[in-house]
Amino acid sequence: MPQQIAVVTGAGSGVGRAVAVELAAAGWLPVLAGRREEPLRGTAELCAAAGPGGRAAVVVPTDVTDPAAVDALFAAAAEPCGRVDLLFNNAGTFGASAAVDELDIAEWRAVVDLNLTGAFLCARAAFRRMKAQDPRGGRIINNGSISAHVPRPHSIAYTATKHAVTGLTKSLSLDGRPYRIACGQIDIGNAATEMTAAMSTGVRQADGRIAVEPTMDVADVARTVRHMAELPLEANVQFATVMATAMPYIGRG
């Protein structure tokens, strides 16, 4: 069986890095995208150590908000085997924590550009490749969030974009049916990464308190993404929620 190609955005750290390494260990060739080359090189080294044969991942520094850069990313991804089998659409940012009436419009646009427009541009490029390649098809997994369901205080831009990612997932699922393109979404709660470091010192709750929240190992997220990725295209995990068991979500607030 030819090696499968997985594009992972936001691959320089956190969930993206963990997923890339997990896929490499399973024999995939990860194509690593992110704005900064140095962290991507670090992820590539981990992929080479984890993967069979020590083959390094492909590093493609990319600004996913730039359509031309995204097109170049997928051209590079298709080069080794002539196809793209998986997109893990993961790049994102929480942005500034601010009350609605105090959020600067530039901050709003920065979060929307990365979390929503960037996700769309990558999905569009993947869809084009998957629709045209032979054999046709592939899989897109979008990184949603617990915030795709319920907000945190002072997170309107992040929450709005993550709700929008759910709409993106549903539309891609529907439009991909004729072309064997499956699309699912993983909604993650409190995986221990750089982005969630504040959980250990305390974050604002719905009632205004500051409280420490439980976290979980990011490797558990990576294993879930791998499971979703390795299903046959006739099967799909449409939505999966993976979260720290005791975090405030069920009954949040």
Q: State residue 65's pLDDT score.
A: 98
Q: Which residues pair with 60 in a beta bridge?
A: 33
Say how far apart CA 89 and CA 92 lie, in whole Å.
Answer: 9
Q: Is residue 138 one of the residues assigned to a domain?
A: yes
Residue 46 resides in a domain: yes
**Which tokens sit at 190?**
């409190």
Q: Enumerate the active-site residues.
A: 158
Range of the domain at 132: 5-243
* Residue found under tokens 């993650």: 188
Residue 248 lies in a domain: no
60: phi then psi, degrees, rounded to nearest 5: -135, 90
Asked, for residue 249, whether it belongs to a domain, the answer is no
| Total number of domains in the chain | 1
Q: Does residue 252 lie in a domain region?
A: no
* Amino acid letter, residue 221: V
What does the pLDDT read at residue 195?
Answer: 73
CA gap 141, 221 in Å, rounded: 12
Residue 107 pLDDT: 97
- Whether 134 contacts 192, CB under 8 Å: no
Inter-residue contact 169 to 116 (CB < 8 Å): no
Quote the radius of gyration of the chain (alpha carbons, Å).
18
- Distance, CA of 103 to CA of 160 (rounded, Å): 13
d(CA 184, CA 43): 24
Q: Indicate whether 147 belongs to any domain.
A: yes
Token pair belonging to 236: 């799909």
Q: Are 86 and 5 in contact (CB under 8 A)?
A: yes
**Percent of the chain clearing pLDDT 70 (strictly above):** 98
Residue 250: inside a domain, yes or no? no
Residue stretches of the chain with pLDDT short of 70:
1, 252-253
What is the reported pTM? Answer: 0.95
pLDDT at position 194: 80
49 neighbors 23 (Cβ within 8 angstroms): no
Residue 253 covered by a domain: no
111: number of CA atoms within 13 Å, CB side? 22
Supply the CATH number for residue 109's domain. Answer: 3.40.50.720
